[in-house]
Amino acid sequence: MTLDTNINEIRSDFLNDLKKVNTSKDIENLKIKYLGKKGLIQSLMSHLKGVSNTEKPLFGKKINDLKQEVTSHLQNELCQISNKEEEKKLASEVLDITLPGKKNFWGRSHPISLLMQRAIDIFVSMGFSVELGPNVESDFYNFESLNFEKDHPARDMQDTFYITDNKLLRTHTTNVQARIMERSDPPIRCIAPGRCFRNENISSRSHVFFHQIDLFYIDENASFADLFATLKEFYSKLFDKDIETRFRPSYFPFVEPGMETDIKCIICSGQGCRICKHSGWLEVAGAGMIHPNVLKSSNIDPEKYSGYAVGMGIERLAMLMYDIKDIRAFTENDMRFLEQFSL
Domains contained in the chain, CATH given: 3-92 (no CATH), 111-338 (3.30.930.10)
Report pLDDT for 342.
66
Phi-psi sector, 95: left (phi>0), alpha (psi -120 to 50), beta: beta
pTM check: above 0.75? no
DSSP string, 15-28: HHHHHT--SHHHHH
Nearest to 212 by CA among 188, 192, 227, 237: 192
For residue 191, the cross-strand partners are: 130, 215
Report pLDDT for 214.
94
Report pLDDT for 117.
93
Report pLDDT for 245.
85
Report pLDDT for 158.
60
Residue 3 and residue 59 in contact, taking contact as beta carbons nearer than 8 Å? yes
pLDDT under 70 in the chain at which residues? 1, 3, 154, 157-158, 275, 342-343
Preceding amide of 257 cis, omega within 30: yes
27 vs 16, 17, 41, 81, 129, CA distance in Å?
A: 13, 10, 16, 9, 70
Alpha-carbon distance of 174 to 192, in angstroms, equals 7
- Helix and strand numbers (H, E) in the chain are 11, 9
Contacts of 133 (CB under 8 A, 6+ apart): 141, 170, 173, 175, 176, 179, 192, 194
